[in-house]
Amino acid sequence: MVTQARVMTLGQWLGAHLWRRPERLLLLILLVLGGGVWLRHSEHPPDPGEQTLEEAPVLPPLTALGSLPELVVATRRAPGSYWTEPDGRTLGIEHDLALGLGAFLGKPVHFLVLDDQEQVVRALRTGKAHFAALPEGGKESTAQGFLFTPPYYHSRFQIVFNASRQSAPHSLADLVKDPLTLVHNPQMEAQLQNLRTQVPGLRWKWAPRGMGEEDLLRQVYEGQVEYAVGASEEIALAQNDYPDLAVAFGIGQEIPLAWAFPVGSSLLYEAALHFMEGFRNSGGLAQVVERYYGSVGALSHDDALEFLQKRVIRLPNLSPIFRAAERLSGLDWRLLAALSFQESRWNNQAVSPTGVRGLMMLTADTADHLGVTDRLDPNQAVPAAARYLAQIRNELPLSIEEPDRTWIALATYNVGQAHVEDARRLARQKGLDDRTWNALRQTLPLLAEPRYYEKVRYGFARGGEPVRLVENVRSYYDVLVHTEPNSRVFPGMSHGPIRFSPPM
């Protein structure tokens, strides 16, 4: 465990030395994310009801970074950005990046969790937060009066509706009779104001104060709201839970998301620029973005709908088998359930034309290797497949950390170790980090192209298949993590801070 005192020592050393050494910056920042700072803030997540914007104190002027007692970050609860799991862990891309800056500076981080983005902007303008993640826009938007770092992600606002209840609009002109619903978001309103000059009848109404985008999207799914405006990444995440949510079209321009600092906070702003530069160059930023948004949009509407239906109908009878396999293998039972659904749709009588069969769709050779005498018996197939996957994961090089370790193990489970090694070699040749799933999902499909498979050691492979399997399993697993509690904690899995060993 990294204590707060140790975090400060690491942060001071980072600030003095490591931002010039990108590879070490990545290791140390992610170590801190996986250690004491993560524990300090995730075991006791802030309750948004504990401190409103009005109750939050005005921060004293910052004259030197050394005198800064803590970083105060304004944020809002939103899928992918900042949220709390049922087990109490606080996660999200904004959460992790803010803790990274805190570690860089050797400062603890306090999150001021507010109702909506409008309040986040007000917190910055009134001096109640040091910085926040905001859309970067023009003079007519929230950008006026702020200093922005280079963006870490790009988003776009989209019109969303329930495809099973509403007809699909083809343009904003089709929506003049039905007011759009949106959460309180200055950037969103600014874009709609601009579009109103082209569509004079365009109208919108505000969701109740305090309603987040996730709640609004659920109301669209339930039919309480006909048409709404949302951020592309939040809609894509919600579609795993609400498969009838459909995007009609995007509006306005792509929006860069970045950290915003009030004008006058140049000391902290310059430090944030140094941190972001080193973190981006080290590959750490891409890794965090991939962690939260890498599997966005992987599931088709039909896959998501079938999964949600069968989670209610079939999973209750099968979950005791998956839980028993967890105790045997050390793998999260929800991961095993997600893999099983991808393989067989939780049908223990499943048989494919190629001869694989059962709940885990084992080949005859694999079953023989694992000692399975009846592939259609889930009490044999599930624990055997779990042991096999755990063995694959354990045999991967120690330099591959979670969650990449599990995603690469799943790909190996599907396509074999030899082809995964070829994909890793291709990744290194292309200057990619072959220890990450983000690299391998780019190079595995290349094994089906002659110009690549003719030059690798183990030849042709349908490399797109393991990529589809892993991305689908990730999506199913994320749904189960949010809906099926587990008393055990699996560090580094699903979302959350990434754990790395410290550099020597």
Structure token digits, residue 410: 């799943």
Q: Which tokens go with 251?
A: 């509006």
**CA 160/CA 217 separation, integer angstroms:** 8
> Rounded to whole angstroms, how far apart are CA atoms 39 and 61?
29
| 3-class SS of residue 356 | coil
Q: Please measure the distance between the N-terminal and C-terminal CA atoms of the chain and give it in whole angstroms.
A: 18
DSSP 197-251: TTSTT--EEEPPTT--HHHHHHHHHHTS-SEEEEEHHHHHHHTTT-TTEEEEEEE
- Burial (CB < 10 A; 0-12, 13-18, 19+), residue 351, is middle
Helix residue spans in 43-158 (DSSP H) = 93-105, 117-125
- CA-based nearest residue to 468, from 405, 388, 411, 417: 411
* CA-to-CA separations, 462 to 342, 345, 423, 466, in angstroms, rounded: 17, 22, 12, 8
- In this prediction, residue 5 carries a pLDDT of 30
Phi, psi of 180, deg, nearest 5:
-75, 150
Look at domain 301-483 and name its CATH class.
mainly alpha
Count the Cβ atoms, other than its own, within 10 Å of residue 495: 21
pLDDT at position 496 is: 41
* Cα–Cα distance for residue pair 483/86, rounded to 1 Å: 9
Residue 375: other Cβ atoms inside 10 A: 25
The candidate with the shortest Cα–Cα distance to 463, out of 416, 427, 394, is: 416
CA pair distance 131, 381, nearest whole angstrom: 51
**Alpha-carbon span 152 to 154, nearest angstrom:** 7
Which residues lie below 8 Å from residue 429, measured CB to CB, with a gap of 6+?
none
* Residue 136 DSSP symbol: -
Class of domain 4-130+265-293: alpha beta
pLDDT at 486: 74
The residue behind tokens 């969303």 is: 160
Structure confidence at residue 50 (pLDDT):
53
Every domain range in the chain assigned CATH 3.40.190.10: 4-130+265-293, 154-255
Strands 90-91 and 83-84: antiparallel
What pLDDT score does 9 carry? 34
d(CA 109, CA 100): 10
Tokens of 301: 């509407």
- Type of residue found at 340: S
Question: Full-prediction pTM beyond 0.75?
Answer: no
- Find all residues with CB under 8 Å of 27, minimum gap 6, and list them: 500, 501, 502, 503
Fill in the amino acid letter for 154: H
Q: How far apart are CA 220 and CA 241, in angstroms?
A: 12
Both tokens of 116, joined, read 């909506």
Active site residues: 343
- Beta-strand runs (E) in 14-152: 71-76, 83-84, 90-91, 109-114, 131-135, 146-148
Q: Tell me the one-letter amino acid at 46.
A: P
Helix (H) / strand (E) element for 162: namely strand 153-162
Q: Where in the chain is the domain with CATH 1.10.530.10?
A: 301-483
Residue-level pLDDT, tens digit, the chain, 504 residues: 222 333 333 344 344 444 444 444 454 454 444 433 332 333 334 444 457 888 999 999 998 998 999 999 999 888 778 877 666 778 888 999 999 999 999 999 999 999 888 899 999 999 999 999 988 764 444 456 899 999 998 888 999 999 888 888 989 999 988 899 998 888 888 889 889 889 998 999 989 887 888 889 989 988 899 999 998 888 888 887 787 888 999 988 888 999 999 998 899 999 999 999 998 888 788 878 877 777 666 677 788 888 889 999 999 999 999 999 999 999 999 999 999 999 999 999 988 767 789 999 998 888 999 999 999 999 999 999 999 999 999 999 999 999 999 999 999 999 999 999 999 999 999 999 999 999 999 999 999 898 998 999 999 998 988 999 999 999 899 889 888 877 676 655 544 433 322 223
> What are 91's strand-pairing partners?
83
CATH fold label, 154-255: D-Maltodextrin-Binding Protein; domain 2 (3.40.190)
Contact criterion met (CB below 8 Å) for 244 and 122: no
